[in-house]
Chains A and B, each alone.
Chain A
Amino acid sequence: MVEGIGKGNRWKVKRKYNITGYLFIVPAFLFFLVYILYPILFVGWGSLFSWVNLRNMEFVAFDNFAAIIKDQNMFKIMRNSILWIFITVPVQACIGFFLAYMIEERLGKWRGFFRTAFFLPVATSVAVVAIIWGKMYQPYNGLFQTILTALGLNVSVDVLGNTSAAIYGIILTNIWEWTGWSMIMYVAGISQIPDDMKEAAKIDGATKWKEIRHIYLPSLAPTHKSLLMLGIIGSLQTFALVYTMTNGGPNYASEMPGTYIFKMGFSNQQMGYASALSVFFLLFALLLTIVQIKFLGSGEFMKRGEES
């Protein structure tokens, strides 16, 4: 479709709908409709029934949601999700930032080497990471136990088998797996800080610490915000780590939304209840996102559409 260039023509073209423009958007939008929007509506509809498969559904209205409120495990899951977010996000951001800062600003050569090394856990499959860490946590002959014994401590520590410690063991694994991602995002962020800003700080005689506080951290605000957003969503969709390392146990102590939905839907065959749980956690994610955007702004994510 050749656009008109003559003066009279251009005015006419402007008022028209740009069919070609729409055609370019259609594939992405179709995927969105069929595999995101429809599933969301479907899970909302499915949450109002009691069912195992689609041929056999009994309308129960909001009974599933009433059951969620009474479910004793929900408290543990919410507590674990919040713990997960509050520990993972700041710790990853701190380690990620300082790694990025050291690599980008304090090293001459070897940058690529370190950037790659710290990113390798991200490139490793979560399922594999979960198995390795599970073995390291083992109370007999696990790596951590071996280290403790070598240090002369004669205690037997079963991190994943302990109701109060299991979730922290998994959170530590998660931090290890994803710190490389925060690092690489900060590397990208630091490369955006103009050199003259850094030089101005040096001329003013700012110490390294002041430089970090007054130049680096404020300039990286968009990175902080997107990492927070990804951290929140990441915690709510955690699955493989918990499934492999503890399967939510012992006694639901390390249960997370993903594993609980799986357990209810596929192991217990309560698809209606699992759908209601899905709706609940989707709304929870929405709520956290709204709170975040309200108080911190949306970072760079939502604005771009208006720029174009």
Chain B
Amino acid sequence: MKKKTGKVGWFVVLTVIMLIFMVPLLYMISMSFRTADNMYTPALFVKGMTLNNYTKVIQENPNLIKNFFSSAFVTITTVVLVTICSSMAVFGFSRKNVHGKVIIYNMLLCTLMVPISGLVIPLTQINSKLGLIDNYFGLILPYVALGIPFAITILQGFMVGIPRELEEAAIVDGCNTVRLFLQIICPMLKPGIVVIVIWQFLTSWNEFFLALCTMTDAAKQTLPLVAQQYNGSYFSQPGALFAALTIITIPTLIFYMIVQKQFVKGLTSGAVKG
């Protein structure tokens, strides 16, 4: 009985913290439904809430749907490439007779300590030299390079946990290396792959700095850049601005709510130590 009341107490404490924590997001959503008259009434719900801001934003910005697809294309391609490259790499690192693999592994991991801001100048120059300014691959390729190291640290934990006997048994059965990788190793890495897919999805979808330096064509810009522009163009219409922000934000929040169980399961499944 005592234990039960204790749990309720913790639940109340957490709920209060969470409500305070949620204020910025609730603020955004609440403001997006308001008219100019009651814009600054200090309450979550006010009288006369309206959807007009949303219709206004959608009507005035025919590019928004294109921007949405830009973000989706960049993100999905990045996620796929990161997943393929990093799971192949950890498999390669686990092979015998791959000399110098520890050095290569540590070089890749050093990338984790490289702040992107220090690379923006050269990456932009490379993109302009290769003609990748305003090209989705001008974002995708650097994102993949920057995403691989973190993905490898996650997957390596799972790779180390795969018993060697399993691989040896597969080889005895006449399984070649490619099949071993695709049919034995990849399924075993699945919880880790789920983690990197979700994480990479969120980071690429939300990346701003490199996108700002690479994408100038309004129709090709990714959503964070669009948000930034609306901040200027709807400066005096906070209702419309917040409606636009809500439209941009809701898809990722829903995405995370759907996948969070898998994400936490992958993170807690024993291989990730930090």
Q: Report A's interface with B, CB cutoff 8 A.
A: 1-3, 5, 13-18, 20-25, 27-29, 31-32, 34-40, 42-43, 46, 54, 99, 102-103, 106-108, 110, 112, 114-129, 131-136, 141, 143, 146-147, 150, 176, 179, 184-185, 187-189, 191-192, 222-227, 229, 233, 236-240, 243-244, 257-258, 261-262, 265-266, 271, 274-275, 278-279, 281-282, 285-286, 289, 299-302, 304-308
Contacts and interface: CB of A to CB of B under 8 A. Distances in A.
B160 A124 contact: no
A226 B123 contact: no
A114 to B, nearest CB: 6
Contacts of B186: none
Contact of B181 (A24, A46, A302, A307): A24
B267 A187 contact: yes
Given A18-B97, A27-B89, A107-B14, A305 B102 contact: yes
8 contacts: A27-B84, A114-B18, A120-B256, A132-B24, A243-B212, A285-B114, A300-B273, A305-B106
Nearest to B18: A117
Interface string B165-186: 0000001101011100100000
Given A237-B116, A275-B121, A282-B118, A34 B145 contact: yes
A306 B160 CA distance: 11
Q: Which 4 A-B pairs have the closest CB atoms?
A: A24-B92, A21-B95, A35-B145, A258-B117
A283 to B, nearest CB: 9
B24 A136 contact: yes
A27 B261 contact: no
Given A25-B98, A54-B125, A103-B14, A36 B274 contact: no
B213 interface: yes
Contact of A185 (B213, B231, B274): B274
Interface in B97-145: 97-99, 101-102, 104-109, 111-123, 125-126, 129, 141-142, 144-145
A192 B273 contact: yes
A111 to B, nearest CB: 9
Interface in B134-160: 141-142, 144-146, 148, 152-153, 156-157, 159-160
Which of A16, A54, A236, A301 lies at the interface centre, i.e. has the most chain B CB atoms within 10 A of its CB? A301
Given A25-B88, A125-B224, A133-B24, A1 B176 contact: yes
A99 B256 contact: no
B261 A112 contact: yes
Given A29-B104, A146-B40, A308-B160, 9 more contacts: A2-B176, A17-B98, A46-B125, A114-B18, A126-B224, A133-B24, A135-B242, A188-B267, A304-B105
Contacts of A237: 115-118, 209
Contacts of B227: 125, 127-128, 131
Interface of B: 6-7, 10-11, 13-14, 17-18, 21-25, 27-28, 31, 39-40, 42, 84-86, 88-89, 91-99, 101-102, 104-109, 111-123, 125-126, 129, 141-142, 144-146, 148, 152-153, 156-157, 159-160, 171-172, 174, 176-178, 181, 202, 205-206, 208-209, 212-213, 223-225, 227-228, 231, 238, 241-242, 245, 248-249, 252-253, 255-257, 260-261, 263-264, 267-268, 270, 272-274
A252 B242 CA distance: 28
Contacts of B104: 25, 29
Contact of A32 (B111, B118, B223, B252): B111
A286 B101 CA distance: 22
B138 to A, nearest CB: 11
Contacts of A128: 28, 224, 227, 245, 248-249
B260 A29 contact: no
A41 B21 CA distance: 43
Given A28-B108, A125-B223, A285-B115, A271 B253 contact: no
Contact of A117 (B22, B94, B121, B270): B22
A102 B21 CA distance: 15
A93 to B, nearest CB: 12
Given A28-B86, A31-B85, A240-B209, A112 B92 contact: no
A24 B88 contact: yes
Contacts of A258: 115-117, 120, 209
Contacts of A28: 85-86, 88-89, 108, 148, 152
A176 B23 CA distance: 11
Given A3-B171, A39-B122, A187-B267, A127 B224 contact: yes
Given A127-B225, A132-B27, A141 B268 contact: no
B101 to A, nearest CB: 7
B102 to A, nearest CB: 5
Contacts of A239: 116-117, 208-209
Contact of B274 (A103, A118, A222, A282): A222
